[in-house]
Amino acid sequence: MVLEMKVPSPGESITEVEIAEWLVEDGDYVEKDQAIAEVDSDKATLELPAEASGIITLKAEEGDAVAVGEVVCLIDTSAEKPAGGDGETKEAPKEEEKATEAPKKEEKAAPKTEKAPEKKETYATGTASPAAKKMLAEKGIDPKEVKGTGKDGRITKEDAVKATPSMGTPGPGNRGSERKKLSMLRRKVAERLVSVKNETAMLTTFNEVDMSPIFKLRDQYKEDFKSKHGVGLGFMSFFTKAVVRALEMYPAVNSMIDGKEMVSYDFCDISIAVSGPKGLMVPVVRNAENLSFRGIEAEIKRLAIRAREGEITVDEMTGGTFTITNGGVFGSMLSTPIINPPQSAILGMHNIVERPIVRDGGIAIAPIMYVALSYDHRIIDGKESVGFLVAVKEALENPTELLMDENVKKALEL
C-alpha cells in the first residue's frame, strides 16, 4: 500500500509552507514518527514526522513552496525493512571485491610511459627585479599574479610595465561569495519589519534604570529561590512584573489598531524575544498579570528551551499584547527596537554597565541599564509613552514596595 503524505496545517491562517530541508533521501526506509523534513511557515519552523513506516519517495524539492494539504511524499508501507537497516544487499561486497581487482589487470596492460622533463625552477622564478618590484607596488599588483619572462622566470621591468591590475582581484585574500534563498520565515519577518516602518508612526523614548535594588534582592534571595523552585531568579521576572504594572496604569499601551477601531485588552500576554536556531522567536507568556515571580521565570525558561530546540509551536508565538526584547545579552548599550505587529509598543532592555550617577547630592557608581520604549504614536501619545517608561523605571528602582505583594519572601514564595 502506498500512503500519500500531505502537508498538515501548522496553524490558523497559514495556507502554505516551504520545504526547508529533507532529513531523508529518496528511496530511504523510514520509521513511523521519524522526522523526515523541516518545513518553514511564515511564523515558525516545524518538523514533519513520517505517518507510517516504509520506503519513501519524495515529491517536492528543498525550497519548494507547497500548499497545506498538498502531497509532498509517498511511503510504500508494504516494503520490508532492509537487512541491517541500511538497505544494502548481500551482493554488494562481491561487487566491491571485483572493483578492487580491476585496477591490477589494468596495471599489467598499461604501457610504461616516461614523464616529460619538467622545467627547472630556481630562486629567481617569480622574483621581481628591484625596478619591477617598485612598479608593481605602485600599481597595487601582487608579483604572484605576474608571469616573468626573464631568465629562469624572473619578473623584469618590462613585465611590470605590461602588467595591469585585475578588476576582480585587487589584492591578495579571499573574495568569495555565497548566494542562498531566504527561508519563508526570514522573508516574512523582513516583510513585517518593513511594513511596521511604513504603516506605523513609530517613535522611541529612552530612560535609564539604577539596577542596584534588584541586584541586592537577587544576591540575597537567588540561592533560596533556585533551591525551592528549580529556576533562577533572573531580571526578566522583574521587568515583566514592572511592565504589567505599567500596562495597567496606561492601558493605551496595551492596545492595538484594527482598521478604524482601537482594541484594548484587560489581560497582559507578554511576548519575550528569544534567539533561536532559525532566527528570532517571540513566544508569549500568557496572562502574565496572574503569574508570580516563580511562574514567570518557569514559563520563560520553558518557552526559551522549546524555541532553541525548534519545538516551539505557532500557537505559542501568537497573540501577544506587548513585547520585551533584551539586546543586552549580546552587549547592546542602546537601540530603538521595532514594534512587533499588530502590537503597539515594545520595551528594549540593554546591557548593565557601572556608571557614575548623582545620589543624595553626591557622585556614586551604580549598575545602570538604558531602556527604550518604541511605540505607535497613532494611538499612544507622548504623555502616555513617557509615563509608561517612567512607571517601569520606578518599579525597577523600588521593587520591594511596588512589585512585591506584602513582603519579599511572600512575593518570592520562599
Instruction: Give the active site residues.
Output: 377, 381
**186 touches 372 (CB < 8 A):** no
Q: Could you tell me which residues come within 8 angstroms of residue 43 by beta carbon, excluding any fewer than 6 positions away?
A: 10, 11, 14, 185, 188, 314, 317, 318
Which backbone phi and psi does 361 adopt, to 5 degrees?
80, 5
Q: Could you tell me which residues come within 8 angstroms of residue 314 by beta carbon, excluding any fewer than 6 positions away?
A: 10, 11, 12, 14, 41, 43, 44, 46
Cell of 382: 507622548
Helix (H, G, I), strand (E, B) or coil at 335: coil
Q: How far is CA 210 from the centre of its chain?
A: 30
Which backbone phi and psi does 180 adopt, to 5 degrees?
-145, 150
In whole angstroms, give the CA distance from residue 208 to residue 389: 10
**358 touches 174 (CB < 8 A):** no
In whole angstroms, give the CA distance from residue 282 to residue 337: 14
CA triple 206-192-316, angle to 5 deg? 90
Q: Could you tell me which residues come within 8 angstroms of residue 138 by beta carbon, excluding any fewer than 6 positions away?
A: none
Q: Is the Cα dihedral 340, 343, 344, 350 positive or negative?
A: negative
